Structure 1
Amino acid sequence: MGESLHTVTTLPAARQPGCPFDPPAELIDARRHGPISRYVFPGGHPGWLITGYDLVRSVLADSRFSSRKELMRHHPLIDYGDIEVPPAPPGEFLLMDEPQHGRYRKPLVGKFTVRRMRQLTERVEQITADHLDAMAKAGPPVDLVTAFARPIPAIIICELLGVPYEDRGSFQEHIDRFFDGETGDEDMLAAYIAVQQYLAQLVAAKCANPTDDVLSDLTGGDLTDEELRGMALILLSAGFDTTANMLALGTFALLRNPAQLAALRADPALTDGAVEELLRYLTVVKTFMRTALQDVELGGQTIKAGTTVILSYNTANRDPERFTDPHLLDLRRQNSGHLAFGHGIHQCLGQQLARVEMRVALPALVNRFPTLRLAVPAEEVVLRPETADIHGVKSLPVTWDV
């Protein structure tokens, strides 16, 4: 490879006009050159971009690559200069390695099993039906994001964690500001402080009067209030933003692929496979980063200790060496094994919950409104900016025949 190795200098890259579901062209081009590219972080710091499925998966399973926040000295959007990056706050286990990561994740694993999440199906069905009824009563057009995609996962995760229903709206508003990719630094800090203040009150209330929810269960152990706040923040923020965007963007993708939409309506047995294919095809969690703890040979290159690598989930899930016709949405696709939920010890804890919500909500929506369609031209649907951590649409105006 040597000097001919491909170099990427601009991230996040913009998506091509008219291609809201495909990774940015620069990333697809990088993958064509090979599964690993050089990357230059702001400030000129060298790094690596991993776009191939096998290499992304191997890094995620390799303990020689760290998730620790304080080691992520470089970022695609920020030049930290000589500023020391602090460790992740207690409880925020996504940005930690073992054994700290396991201290927080292990108490949660049993609460998000396949069996326990499937037991939630009836509740998801009820919440979904309530929102479909409200849509029908209001009549078209509606914004599917606010009427359907956001409230369903928000209600479920808040109920699981024990957030009172009356608090859900304001809490969700603060969380949205973290993920929209457009919030300024001052507003971001204000939102973070407001969330922390709310979670401090919530944890104190659960310690004083435990109820039947995950957060109350956690108060009975040796976790501090600060650790409980951090864990609750991770679960609440990750628990609805990703699924909300999958529901809205997934509907958009189905409406743009009418043959696939018709197949889903016609064959309920297709639902599970359809959800997995949408997860692969859309990959709303676009990237993660890892830092090498020692020199590592990867894809014919030496990743030096201390170097940060960017893992491109969306190009890995479009890798032609792993998926046949990867840019085609095929709900009958047989080869799954996508990386939409990551891999290894940090694989998404709530993946089974997300699957239940999608398996219930998407078929219910498209069957309730057989004439569902976009209320604006597809090119007028506004996407979240590429600076947002989670890909999605800002709104999705839809209509149907009454």
Structure 2
Amino acid sequence: MLNLAFGEAGLPVHPALRERLAGAAGENGYGPVAGLPALREAAAGYWHRRGLPTDPDLVVCGPGSKSLLYGLLLAIGGDVVLPMPSWVSYAAQAELAGVRPLPVPAPPGEGGAPDPGLVASAVRRARARGRDVRSLLVTLPDNPTGTLAETDTVKKIVDIARELDLMIISDEIYRDLVHDPAAGFVSPADLAPERTVVTTGLSKSLALGGWRIGVTRLPSAGLRARLLAVASELWSSPAAPVQHAAAYAYTEPAEIGERIARSRRLHGIVARAAHARFTRAGVTVAAPRGGFYLYPDFTGLDFATSGELAARLLDRYGVGVLPGHAFGDDPAGLRVRVATSLLYGETAERRLAALDAADPLALPWIAASLDHLDAALRRLDADHRREGPASAGTAA
């Protein structure tokens, strides 16, 4: 079975991080709710090197950026504007927090940000009906689409947030995995630091999903106090040994920077190779720009929902994907999320070989996985193409 469903980075832990985790294993006391000073200072330095001067006192650490995002929804309060589609946990967390998501479609060909041309009217209509909309969330780069919102889109989102007095939550967990770093990256915090919260972590860039560590950059002491009140009751403090390893990672020594660069390269090569298979099969899919995701559109096949399509891909063709409706998309839209990061191998040895290979696509196990995808897409089209003018369209 070809597992394209799970969004895990799929690479081994760097030895230097294992050493620091083990070296701090004896630290078993409760730590500061905001996180260890060393980690907060290191995270502040990380943002400073990206053009965002940051006060360590306005950094809060948590057991993964996912926990921080939930804490922020509670601390900010009110309903939240979400791009549609968007990561599965945003809407679920909003519901758990007792607020409601306000989904707004992303601009055509982009993902991770709601369409600026639709946000203002959606918020005004919601407020006219008595809803208390206080925040807007973006994901840069995006999960599920693997795309990156254009600079102009981010600028317009910032202008609208100022006009409507919305807090911006910018989930930048994939920032260091933008495939072409030279292409540039604009965070809302670059343009509106007074109303932007940035979250990130090491789950994707350094494949530490199981270690559960994240950091957030806050715009004010008031929001920090509210978030710490939530954090004190939900997680107390992240695990101390993990914080020590994360502090080392966020100082970005050469060995860590080199590992991230190699990971970025591998993710980009394999995601682009999968993209080529979809486009060759006549499936519409935007080119990936960050992370390890694709969001193909199978319009023209004879399925009623994305759930039916995903089930058939798994049961008949041995390809596991997630249906678009899991990300808030229209169930009738035949879109699925594809994650390519588990194609690197099932053992640490194979994953390291993929990381080190001059041409990862020539490795037998990666080539076999892409061949499996090729064959599955051909069979799917032959078995389920609708008769008539409808088609999957041309590739983006």
With the length of structure 2 as denominator, give the TM-score of the two structures: 0.29
Structure 1 length-normalised TM: 0.28
